[in-house]
Amino acid sequence: MPGHSAAQNASAAIQLEHVSVTYAGRRPALEDVSLMLPSGSHVAVIGPNGAGKSTLFNALLGLVPLAGGRIRLFGLSPQRARARIAYIPQRDQVDWQFPLTALDIALMGRVTHIGWRLKPRAADYAAAQSALERVDMWKMRATPIAELSGGQQQRLIIARALAQEAPLFLLDEPFNEVDASTQELLLDLFDELATAGRTLLVATHDLALARRRFPALLFLNRSVKGFGSPDEVFTPETLEKTYTKQVVKWDEGDALSSIVDAHTFSHNH
Ligand code: ADP
Ligand code: MG
């Protein structure tokens, strides 16, 4: 009874039904992806380069048209749910030479709250301050962003998302180029947010990290190759389905080293 279940799940944080996305002239980037996530879900989205992780986020943001299927976020279309999404793009999409301070960046998270008032209020500054404090960046609030390290810049991007006070977080490879202490801080923060009922989707190609620190894993490569707890889905079968031989052969980057790690892990257990 598909119609019945759709009605029952109207309040799910994320609901995808048979979603496909095709960029012009290419084979589908996403094909028949179905997924239902209640609020408080904390999911690592795993797959090699080109698997469609960023495309999935763009679809949830309503930035790419669907070739088929339907997306509902808190029962709303992606366009209508946009203000409820804190989106953290892949790091290379941010211009760090822009003459802004750390506090400016955190305040940007308040845009949807500030709206037509144009000027931040005390509540906006308070939210920006508490977000900066949470990622241990308040002491650097007046520092120009160009002078920050990669890890500090990533903490800021996360602070901006926190200041937004959104119920849904989409984080696209947030651990790339960050130091170990920032990574641990972010992982603890994500746990805390999910426990508080926020929903988090975190794209990563770090298989070992996903397995160790996420309660749910979504293996993606154009279609869903596996979804469940690490104990359920972190298996050689799922890995082989997700990382096809072809990909392993030509990808000499992180995907290959991670898959080697993953096989080592599964043989050790
Ligand atoms: P991932 O984030 O997992 O690396 P992407 O979602 O970026 O994967 O890419 C999925 C597929 O869609 C790839 O084949 C990629 O080349 C293609 N793609 C992504 N963005 C675009 C775009 N704007 N126009 C055309 N093709 C794209
Ligand atoms: Mg990507």
* Å from CA of 99 to ligand 2 middle: 27
d(CA 63, CA 71): 12
26 C-alpha to center of ligand 1: Å?
Answer: 10
Say which ligand is closest to the CA of 251: 1
Mean pLDDT of the chain: 87
pTM of the model: 0.87
Instruction: Say how far apart CA 145 and CA 104 lie, in whole Å.
Output: 9
Token pair 């031989």 in the structure block, residue: 245
Q: Show the ligand 1 pocket: residues with CB < 6 angstroms.
A: 23, 26, 29, 47, 49-55
For residue 4, what pLDDT is reported?
45
Mean pLDDT calculated for residue range 28-44: 98
- The pLDDT > 70 percentage for the chain reads 85
Residue 200 near residue 194 (C-beta atoms within 8 A): yes
Mean pLDDT of 33-50: 96
Predicted local distance difference test score (pLDDT) of residue 87: 94
pLDDT: is 237 or 253 the higher one?
Answer: 237
Work out the percent of the chain whose per-residue pLDDT is above 90.
72
Among 23-27, 224-228, 243-247, the range of highest mean pLDDT: 224-228
Amino acid letter, 31 = E
Sheet of strand 30-37: strand arrangement: 30-37, 14-21, 68-73
Closest C-alpha to 166, from 210, 122, 196: 196
Indicate if the pLDDT at residue 119 is higher than 50: yes
